[in-house]
Structure 1
Amino acid sequence: MPVMSFFRRQSPSALPVRAAARPSTARPFGARAALVLALAACGVTAGCNRSSSGGSASVVLATALGYQGETSEYRVGVEARALVPEPDGAVVSYSIAPPLPAGLTLDPKTGVLGGIPTAAAPLTAYTITAQLANGGAIASTVRFLVADTFAAARYGYSLTLFPGTITAWRYDAGSKTYLANGGDVSVGTPVRAEAHPLGDRLFVLDSLAGSVVTFAIDPESGVLERIDEDSTGMFPIALEVSADGRFVYTGSEEDLRSFRVDPITGRLQPTGPPLAIRSTSAIAVDPSSSMIAVGSAGFEAIGVFTLDADDGSIGQLRGFTKVPTPYALEFSPDGRRLYTASLIRDTIDVFDTDPPAPVLARLDQRTVPAGTFDLEVESESLWAAHFSASALSEFELDADAVPAATGTTVLLAGTPTSVRPNPSGGYAAPLFDAGFTQYADAVAGDPLFIPQRRFLADFVLAPAAGARERSTPFTAALDAGVGAVVLLSSNDGTPIGSPNLAGPAPRALATDLSGRTLAIGDGINGSIRRFDVDALQPTLALRGSPTPAGFEVRDLALDGGGRRLWALTEGQLITYEVPLAGATVQIDQAPIGPDPARIAADASGRFIACTDRVTDQLFLFGVSPASNEPIPAGNSPVSLLDLGETSVGAGAVAFEPLGRVVIVALEDVGAVRTLLVNTLTGSTQPAGTVSGMGRPVDLAVRLDGLRVFVADAATPALHLLALDPKGIPFLLDTLPLDESPTRLVLEASGQAVQFLSEDGGWGRASAPTDVLQLDATADLGLTDALDLAPISVWVDAPTATTGTGETGAK
């Protein structure tokens, strides 16, 4: 049966601007998209993002001492990301009770809590008391545990519509709670998220941008790295990942789309043309990845289709039925049953999917509270989130996968946008209007509250990672002397394959986090060449004709997904969009200093930083999620001169991955200077300086933001710096070199760097224990080595031999 034979077009109706208690049957948009539109009707401004008292909504629930009132986790032998107070009033001294675990300390003068734990400790509440200069005292309570060893973690990610952010949380099975993981990642208007079954990637729908964004999940820290962004059509609201993790499906106001997940890069590739199902409101894929169920609010129907086993494309229609406002779909664990929820019927319907039939057979129906937004199946239970009723429902499934006649209803403190069952039982539900995620464990019983901003759209718990990891098997080196780019082995620097022509005078090189896109800027004709990277061969393939920049290209930066490119030219910052197919397109040109030196983008692509040698200034831009255009942030430009300095030679610049610290190399004074960034406003303030170097020319920052590698061309040497919680750097170690390093890149593991030298040499160094060691060197014979860029890919994690002699996953 043709796809469109049952998806008949319905009469259009006006869009609602607020979520009603009983939504209209004619709503063409999904519930989450309606919430986005409600905020867009306010003007999509900070004025809409207000708490009930009229103030700005805050990220966490702060206390009088300014400590974040959230639960944290530390690990034995790993430096803790310290807790720092911001007290309201002059403090004389700090104290804490009960005593801290071994290795952790509280500075009695500054109130900073940190250190390197040496022993495990259970989840405990600690009271920190500050004695004030006026004779009074204020106190705060912080909760944390110390884990003995690293185990495969499960991370939860919450989505906040405005400002568009993703916040990471670590689920701890021991305490059965979510622990603060630190840091937000910026996304335009995130409305729905799903995790890859391997736990190494997170897929997020950006509704107003009309895209699905792919993030890599670091298995040890839970930190997200943006690696891809793909078009989904206007206002996507439905998202599903196949159980085998090979395919991703998105539904929007325009159509339904399918993507293949590239196992090497982690990026998405369309598997065919979009399917014209208007107002796709819900998607579900069965556990065998052989069927897909699609709900359409526009056609008021659901259909079940076959899926191609090879490419994941959508095939023949197996069955359909008319269901008004189908906003939630879910298959039973065996795939024989399909559960659907209708907003206006306040019911959950159970359909039979086997054998195929033109009209799906309804087996049963359950009455539920109003406004069902989400359905989830976990083991032998079916969960439902009811937005209008501020409640959750749980039904046990019988042997025939039919929900029990009666279920359990849980009243919530706000309106849930989704429900995610916890590994040990219970639930996690983001509350759109309350500013927190309500969480309860089946054993603990009493609900806990994870404090966040308001306008929560979703919460997803990623599976335990560890089966895959990112690796950097190759690097790309730029040889300006012969106008070529050469691929090098990360093991020993051996050139691989033939050099690729890179232009008459290539000067700058950049790659994205997925290792699939490489860009080269020319220093004479002002052009940019873009190459596709095949990391399996490995080879480079020039895509299209060079893109004119109009000026000498001095430096380049790509965002994590390789979709935005920034070129630093004489007095200008030029922004480009980089489509998967077609030519690179210039979309903006912004003036900066007269002699720009270097450029960097943070991991999420929300901030760009540039330095200028003549003015010794730092230019900081925020990236508009709607237009991708850079907008001057906060107090930019900022002078990098300290008291008594007349010139510092501002050069290389880098971000701490979450964008909270900017690090700048000052070549003329032999120093590295850091600035703290207010990630909401973009304003900066000085943090600290490390002096006594020769001429620092390049920087590389570890993924956790705690270590910075510095290339020193004058000494010559590599330096390893540490960043404290307030962004203040201090020197840990120095490794003397025989040749002067000019460029430095960090490998995906975060423990090793590779560098080029002025004489065309290559080297690799690592610091597994905060002591730098030289691992390998090679003479490449490059006549004018100018730049170096890593090519990182996803690979299967190495296996380890257990104590019993068996082989298991890392």
Structure 2
Amino acid sequence: MTTTRSTTQARSGIARPAIWIALALLGSCNSGGSSSSGSNSGSDSGPTGLLYPDHEERQFVNLPMDPSLPTYSGTVDSFSVTPSLPQGLTLDGLTGVLAGTPTASISESPFVVTATGPGGSTQITLQFRVHDAPRFLYSTGPQDTDLSAYAVGASESDLGFGPIQGTGALTPGPEQITFHPGNNFAFVPNRGLPGLTGSVSSYSVSSSSGRLSHLGEVPCGEGPRRLALNRSGSTALVVTHEDNRLFSYAVDASTGQLTDLGDVLTNTGPTQVAVDPLGRFAYVLHDQSADITIHPLDPVTGAAGPMTQAINYWVTPPSDIAISSSGTIAYIAFAGENSLQTFQMDPIDGSLSPYAAITLPDGPRSLALSPYDDFLYVACEGDDVLEVLELDPASGHVTQSTSTPTDDAPVRVTLDDTGLFAFVLHSGAHTIRSFTVDPTTHVVSAGATVRARPLATDISVYQGEAPAQPRTEFLYALGGSTEDLSGFKFDSYTGQLTPISVDSLAGTGPTDLIVDPLGRFVFVAHQLSAELSVFQISPGSGSLFESLTRTSLSEPPAALGVDGGGRYLFVALPQSAQVLAFSIHPTTGELDLLDARPTGSGPSAVNPDPTGHFVYVSNTGGANDSLCSYRFEGGQFVSGPQFIPAPGSPGPVRFSPSGERLYVALAGSNLIVPYLIHPVSGSLTLEASGSAPAKGNTQVFEPHRSGAYGYSAATTSNGGIGEIRRYSIDGAGALDFVEATPSGIGPVTLRSGPSGNYLFVLNGSSDDLDVFGVDAPTGNLTRLGTYPVGMDPIALDLSRRW
């Protein structure tokens, strides 16, 4: 629910420019568009009032635009446009419909559409801008050891887990990620250990996968907190909280390397730094001296000079600052006073003159200003709301505010470059939630939620060449009796499989298979030979080759798991009741044993959660059937096991798209059961009321990426013919059986494709693989094809691309 409040401030007589409205009418007349008539028009005076009422100015690269239809009065024979529309967009010369898929970004530009009829013509000027899309969202935290990426799709409900990775830096404590304007590089201030020097790391960014490659780090005082780039990205400024300094670095736009330009003293406890968009001043916020210092910037190098002023109009520290794109207005939030103050910025010395203040909900912690300076978003931690303030861009006055509920304790809000997507990090709920912003009204609609790592304190958006669209690239099935691998290349448009190379594993007793989430390796567990093998995946073809000596184990392995960043392989050993953790070499796939922990009796499956913070083991020890959980950080099990009963032979666990729950099929009890995951400890809480009956020795339940439904595979008594059972999932995670769809004979496992458009089912008795198309709104299945695999197949996994 969204509530609206009006403020007592005036607009100061200046109308807000309607730049968020896609339609810009230049020289309009007759209720729309300009018109002219020819000398021989007769009684027909020509068309008038040309409009595109549903046109949206902002479009995304490689994302089809919604067709925009014209309205007008009179007779039109043809339409034309000058200059040519952005690459990939077209104007239908007969109907005037604008459509297509833009393929390159452009800044805001005017295009004149002309409608011509027997008696003359009418025109309208439309503004277009084409943006790179928000593609990945990153979270960081100074007490964490990892950087987490989330895949951002094209809608408010499309937010999922991406790759997790270590920082690669020698200095711990990543505070935030700031992306260079060219999107090729990222910079991370690392807080470091108490009393020791921190650093700033540089990374190159893979626009396709979201992976960050560490380029190096430079020293940066004690306790670096925040980093800000000037508008061109040529200079980086960093505040260090423990020694009260402001550091300046030159940024090499071709390599991403940083060069120290010196540092200057600030007041005590600097927490934030903001750069005037015109490159004149830097503003530093302090939590101990409760003030703001102003530092002039060198017009050539961009380096910050000594403070010229320290401004203190308040008794509580400022919590965040946002500066208008014109460099004339600063908005400063005060969480302790529940207020927002507006300041005019002096163009000569940068001093701040207060002239307006409003009261906000409890705990305004973070600000995000829209690209056109007409709306300000405020995360209010105490009242759990996202406050949206409508602004007069010329004066900075707030004219109206609306409140949208969030999860518990929102501490950070950020916008993508278009202002169409907002993302909020919650420290209480340990979640990240996406919101969409109506381009005209700025009404905020809540979208998807994903679980954040427990120690996350900041989020940043990366704009890419297209929204993230995860899809299946290759599938691999493990044959039990034939002891071989079957591989397929998947066509994500047709749903068809093309067989690729098959590798023999004769004499080794293969028991499980898993694919590296980054699509580099396939790992196989061998029961008879008690070893692990690594197959490299050939890019493009998907063929496999084994180049490493196999890793020997002390006993036969039962199951494999791999973390979401492809950094760690987990192995369940049933005889000694242990789970092992191996590091994975990023280039060769070579395995190195890191740690081992006891499990319950008879571990049969091991599954890391999508945040990479927890590991779960299914134990099939008869009367002691259970699930056990571990917290895993930096390559070590740092806590666990914690046990919870799961009576009835629990199979592998699968996670909800948000990462807040896991589901397990209990074959012995013929139940599918949800468990709630504690966001900090990873411990599980049984949600018995949300369970649903299963049938036919169900081994696994697979939630769909929408979170609205999921599937299990069952064997019927009718000759072993299988069926795929679909269950609805409500907002509390509870399951309800909906319908069954026939499959092959003796289904043993299934996988939902990352796009959500396909379901893959491995049939153990008919020795084949079914491919089903998924109707995303309903979950209904349509069989698209069946493909032979090795005899008695036992495991299936897939690789994905973004």
TM, length-normalised to structure 2: 0.64
Q: CA, structure 1 residues 384+488, in 2 after alignment: closer, same or farther (shift >3 Å)?
A: same
User: Please, what is the CA RMSD of the aligned residues?
Assistant: 4.1
CA contact (8 A) 1:484 1:506 kept: no
Q: Could you tell me how far 1:469 is from its partner in structure 2?
A: 1.9
Q: Could you tell me how far 1:342 is from its partner in structure 2?
A: 4.5
Q: 2:742 and 2:147 mapped to 1: Cα distance? A: 45
Residue in 2 that maps onto 1:776: 785
Residue in 2 that maps onto 1:631: 640
Q: Could you tell me how far 1:636 is from its partner in structure 2?
A: 0.8
Q: Are 2:228 and 1:269 equivalent residues in the alignment? A: no
Residue in 2 that maps onto 1:250: 188
Q: CA, structure 1 residues 301+725, in 2 after alignment: closer, same or farther (shift >3 Å)?
A: closer
Q: 1:304 and 1:503 mapped to 2: Cα distance? A: 62
Residue in 1 that maps onto 2:322: 376
Residue in 1 that maps onto 2:38: none
Q: 1:214 and 1:421 mapped to 2: Cα distance? A: 23
Q: Could you tell me how far 1:493 is from its partner in structure 2?
A: 2.2
Q: Are 2:225 and 1:281 equivalent residues in the alignment? A: yes
Q: 1:543 and 1:322 mapped to 2: Cα distance? A: 56
1:716 maps to which of 718, 722, 738: 722
Residue in 2 that maps onto 1:323: 266
Q: CA, structure 1 residues 359+420, in 2 after alignment: closer, same or farther (shift >3 Å)?
A: closer
Residue in 1 that maps onto 2:524: 520
Q: Are 2:574 and 1:574 equivalent residues in the alignment? A: no
Amino acid paired to 1:734: A
Q: Could you tell me how far 1:283 is from its partner in structure 2?
A: 0.7
Residue in 1 that maps onto 2:769: 762
Q: 1:664 and 1:726 mapped to 2: Cα distance? A: 16
Q: Give structure 2 stretches of 5+ with no counterpart.
A: 4-57, 61-130, 193-197, 391-397, 422-465
SS of equivalent to 1:234: coil
Residue correspondence of structure 1 range 517-666 to structure 2 within 5 A: 518-529=522-533, 538=542, 546-570=550-574, 572-576=577-581, 578=583, 583-594=591-602, 596-605=603-612, 606=614, 608-612=616-620, 614-615=622-623, 617-623=625-631, 628-629=637-638, 631-633=640-642, 636-640=644-648, 650-659=650-659, 661-666=661-666
Q: 2:486 and 2:411 mapped to 1: Cα distance? A: 44
Q: Are 2:672 and 1:736 equivalent residues in the alignment? A: no
Q: Could you tell me how far 1:554 is from its partner in structure 2?
A: 1.7
Residue correspondence of structure 1 range 408-419 to structure 2 within 5 A: 408-412=356-360, 414=362, 416-419=364-367
CA contact (8 A) 1:687 1:727 kept: no
Q: Give structure 1 stretches of 5+ with no counterpart.
A: 1-69, 73-150, 154-195, 641-648, 795-810
Residue correspondence of structure 1 range 131-142 to structure 2 within 5 A: none
Q: Could you tell me how far 1:739 is from its partner in structure 2?
A: 4.4
Percent identity (aligned): 17
Q: 2:140 and 2:229 mapped to 1: Cα distance? A: 17
SS of equivalent to 1:683: strand
CA contact (8 A) 2:535 2:547 kept: yes
Residue correspondence of structure 1 range 685-700 to structure 2 within 5 A: 685-687=687-689, 691=693, 693-700=695-702
Residue in 1 that maps onto 2:794: 786
Q: 2:706 and 2:539 mapped to 1: Cα distance? A: 26
CA contact (8 A) 1:564 1:575 kept: no
Q: 2:348 and 2:133 mapped to 1: Cα distance? A: 29
CA contact (8 A) 1:422 1:441 kept: no
Q: 2:541 and 2:274 mapped to 1: Cα distance? A: 40
1:508 maps to which of 508, 512, 521: 512
Q: Could you tell me how far 1:708 is from its partner in structure 2?
A: 1.4
Q: CA, structure 1 residues 577+234, in 2 after alignment: closer, same or farther (shift >3 Å)?
A: farther
Q: 1:526 and 1:444 mapped to 2: Cα distance? A: 70
Amino acid paired to 2:780: V
Structure having the higher Rg: 2
2:379 maps to which of 419, 429, 434: 429
Q: CA, structure 1 residues 222+736, in 2 after alignment: closer, same or farther (shift >3 Å)?
A: closer
Q: Could you tell me how far 1:620 is from its partner in structure 2?
A: 3.7
CA contact (8 A) 1:478 1:486 kept: no
Residue in 1 that maps onto 2:752: 746
Q: 2:534 and 2:200 mapped to 1: Cα distance? A: 30
SS of equivalent to 2:497: coil
Residue in 2 that maps onto 1:458: 412
Q: Could you tell me how far 1:358 is from its partner in structure 2?
A: 7.0
Residue deviations 1:422-478, cap 9 Å, x none? 6752331343xx363562422773574746545x64333456466332222222333
CA contact (8 A) 2:516 2:562 kept: yes
Amino acid paired to 2:294: D
Q: 1:728 and 1:720 mapped to 2: Cα distance? A: 13
1:234 maps to which of 159, 172, 175: 172
SS of equivalent to 1:776: strand
Q: Could you tell me how far 1:530 is from its partner in structure 2?
A: 5.0
SS of equivalent to 1:560: coil
Residue deviations 1:464-517, cap 9 Å, x none? 466332222222333454555745334432234675989934322234555456
Amino acid paired to 1:495: P
Residue in 2 that maps onto 1:7: none
Q: Could you tell me how far 1:702 is from its partner in structure 2?
A: 0.9
Q: 2:149 and 2:313 mapped to 1: Cα distance? A: 34
Amino acid paired to 1:264: S
Q: 1:724 and 1:621 mapped to 2: Cα distance? A: 25
Q: CA, structure 1 residues 341+654, in 2 after alignment: closer, same or farther (shift >3 Å)?
A: closer
SS of equivalent to 1:494: strand
Q: 2:548 and 2:256 mapped to 1: Cα distance? A: 29
Q: 1:534 and 1:407 mapped to 2: Cα distance? A: 63
Amino acid paired to 2:467: A
Q: 2:355 and 2:527 mapped to 1: Cα distance? A: 68
- Between 1:331-340 and 1:392-401, the stretch displaced more is 392-401
How many aligned residue pairs are there? 590
CA contact (8 A) 1:721 1:733 kept: yes
Q: 1:323 and 1:688 mapped to 2: Cα distance? A: 55
Amino acid paired to 2:655: F
Residue in 1 that maps onto 2:709: 707
Residue correspondence of structure 1 range 167-182 to structure 2 within 5 A: none
Q: 1:699 and 1:216 mapped to 2: Cα distance? A: 23
CA contact (8 A) 2:152 2:468 kept: no
- Between 1:261-270 and 1:362-371, the stretch displaced more is 362-371
CA contact (8 A) 2:296 2:308 kept: yes
Q: CA, structure 1 residues 629+275, in 2 after alignment: closer, same or farther (shift >3 Å)?
A: same
Q: 1:716 and 1:505 mapped to 2: Cα distance? A: 26
Q: 1:390 and 1:400 mapped to 2: Cα distance? A: 31
Q: CA, structure 1 residues 292+776, in 2 after alignment: closer, same or farther (shift >3 Å)?
A: farther
Q: 1:272 and 1:451 mapped to 2: Cα distance? A: 37
Q: 1:394 and 1:503 mapped to 2: Cα distance? A: 74
Amino acid paired to 1:787: A
